[in-house]
Amino acid sequence: METFFIIMLVLMIIGAIIAVETKNMLSAVIAAGVVGFGVSVLFLFLKAPDIAITQVIVEVLSLIILIRVTTKADNEAIERKIDSFANIAGLVFVGIFVGFCIWAFVDMTPFGTPLMRVSQHYLSAGLEETGAANTVAAVILDYRAYDTLGEAVVIFTSILGAFVILRSRGKKKIYEEDYVKVGIPE
Amino acid sequence: MVVYILDMVILVIGIYCLIAKRHLIKKIIGMVLMEYSVNLFLILIGYRHNGIAPILMPDENRVHFAQYGVDPLPQALVLTSIVIGLGTLALMAAYAMRLYEKYRTFDMSEIRRLKG
Amino acid sequence: MKQKDIEQIIHDDHTGMSLIVKTVARMMIAVIILFAFYIILYGHLTPGGGFAGGVILAIAYTLMMLAFSRKMALHKFSDFWASFWDNIGMLAFIILGFLGLNSGYFLYNFIWHGKPFHLVSAGIIPLANIAIGVKVGACLYAIFIGLSIYGRLIIKEEE
Amino acid sequence: MASVMLPLSVGIPLLSAVLILLIGKAWRNAGALFAPITTLITLVFAIDLLGADAGTYWMGGWPPPFGIVLVLDSVSKVLLLVVNMVAFLASVYAVSYMQKYTAQNKFYALFILMLAGMNGVVLTGDLFNLYVFLEIASIASYALVGFGVEHEELEAGFKYLVLGTIASTMLLVGIAIVYNLTGSVNMADVARFVSGMPPNKALLFALAMFLFGFGLKAGLVPFHAWLPDAHPSAPAPVSAMLSGVLIKAIGVYPLIRITYSVFGAPNIILNLILWLGVISAVVGVFLALGQYDIKRLMAYHSVSQMGYVAIGIGLGTPLGIAAALFHMFNHALFKSLLFLSAGSLESATGTRDLRQMGGLKKKMPITSLATATGSLSIAGVPPFNGFFSKLLIIIAAIMAKQYVAAGVAAFVSLLTLASFTKVMKYSLLGKLNEKYERLKESPVLMAIVLTILSVLCLGVGLFYNYFMDSIFNPAANDLLNQAKYISMVIGG
Residues of A in contact with D62 (CB under 8 A): 142-143
Whether A130 and chain D come into contact, CB under 8 Å, resolves to: no
Q: Angle D151-182/B72-103 helices, nearest 10 degrees?
A: 170
Closest-approach residue (CA) in chain D for A171: D101
Question: What subunits make at least 3 CB pairs under 8 angstroms with C?
Answer: A, B, D
Distinct helix (H) and strand (E) counts, chain D: 23, 2
* CA–CA distance, A151 with A23 (Å, rounded to integer): 35
Q: What ipTM was reported for this prediction?
A: 0.91
Element (H, E) at D56: strand D55-58
Are residue A24 and residue A110 in the same domain, yes or no? yes
Q: What pLDDT, on the 0 to 100 scale, is given for residue C159?
A: 34
Q: What pLDDT, on the 0 to 100 scale, is given for residue A69?
A: 77
Are residue A1 and residue A61 in the same domain, yes or no? yes
Whether A32 and chain B come into contact, CB under 8 Å, resolves to: yes
Kindly give the residue spans of alpha helices, DSSP state H, lying in D219-317: 227-233, 236-241, 247, 253-256, 267-289, 294-315
* CA–CA distance, D445 with D447 (Å, rounded to integer): 5
> Contact C106/D57, CB-based, under 8 Å?
yes
Q: How far is CA B19 from the centre of its chain?
A: 17
Best probe of the D interface among C105, C111, C135, by most D CBs < 10 A, is: C105
Backbone angles phi, psi at D328, to 5 degrees: -60, -45
Of C80, C90, C105, nearest to D18 by CB-CB distance is C90
Element (H, E) at D466: helix D464-467
* CA–CA distance, A116 with D185 (Å, rounded to integer): 11
**Number of Cβ within a 10 Å radius of residue B38:** 25
CA atoms within 13 A on the CB side of D49: 32
DSSP symbol at C138: H
DSSP symbol at C103: T
Domain that holds residue A40: 1-114
Whether A77 and chain C come into contact, CB under 8 Å, resolves to: no
Are residue A45 and residue A57 in the same domain, yes or no? yes
Are residue A102 and residue A123 in the same domain, yes or no? no
Of A140, A142, A152, nearest to C90 by CB-CB distance is A152
- Show pLDDT as tens, one digit a residue, over chain D (492 residues): 567 888 888 989 999 999 998 888 888 888 888 999 999 999 999 998 888 888 888 888 888 888 888 988 888 888 999 999 999 999 999 988 888 888 888 899 999 999 999 999 999 989 999 999 999 999 999 999 988 888 888 889 998 999 999 999 999 999 999 999 988 888 888 888 888 888 888 888 999 999 999 999 998 888 888 888 888 888 889 999 999 899 999 989 999 999 998 888 888 888 999 999 999 999 999 988 888 888 888 889 999 999 999 999 998 888 999 999 999 999 999 999 999 998 888 888 878 888 887 777 777 888 888 888 889 888 888 888 888 889 999 999 999 888 888 999 899 999 999 988 888 888 887 777 777 777 777 788 888 989 999 999 888 888 888 888 888 888 888 888 888 888 888 875
**What's the domain count of chain A?**
2
B/D interface, count of CB pairs below 8 Å: 82
Are residue A34 and residue A89 in the same domain, yes or no? yes
Closest-approach residue (CA) in chain D for A143: D67
* CA–CA distance, D438 with D435 (Å, rounded to integer): 8
Q: Of chain C residues 92-131, which have a CB less than 8 A from chain D? A: 94-95, 97-98, 100-101, 104-109
> Contact A46/B66, CB-based, under 8 Å?
no
Of C80, C91, C109, nearest to D18 by CB-CB distance is C91
pLDDT tens, D11-66?
A: 899 999 999 988 888 888 888 889 999 999 999 999 988 888 888 888 888 888 88
Which 3 state secondary structure label does DSSP give D226?
coil
> Contact C55/A58, CB-based, under 8 Å?
yes
Are residue A57 and residue A3 in the same domain, yes or no? yes
Rg (CA), chain C: 19
Residues of A in contact with C35 (CB under 8 A): none
Domain that holds residue C9: 3-158
DSSP assignment of C36-71 equals HHHHHHTTTTSS--HHHHHHHHHHHHHHHHHHT-HH
C158 pLDDT more than 60: no
CA angle D333, D337, D339 (to 5 degrees): 120
Closest-approach residue (CA) in chain C for D70: C106
Distance from CA of D113 to the nearest CA of A (A): 7
Q: What pLDDT, on the 0 to 100 scale, is given for residue D41?
A: 93
Are residue A151 and residue A165 in the same domain, yes or no? yes
C153 pLDDT more than 70: no
Q: With bands split at pLDDT 50, 70 and 90, how would you rate the model's confidence at A80?
A: low
**What's the domain count of chain C?**
1
pLDDT tens, C89-120?
A: 999 988 888 888 887 788 777 777 777 777 76
Are residue A104 and residue A60 in the same domain, yes or no? yes
CA angle C20, C26, C29 (to 5 degrees): 130
Report whether D295 contacts D346 (CB < 8 A).
yes
Residues of C in contact with D14 (CB under 8 A): 94
Q: Of chain B residues 52-81, which have a CB less than 8 A from chain C? A: 53, 55, 58, 79
Distance from CA of B1 to the nearest CA of D (A): 12
Residues of B in contact with D113 (CB under 8 A): none
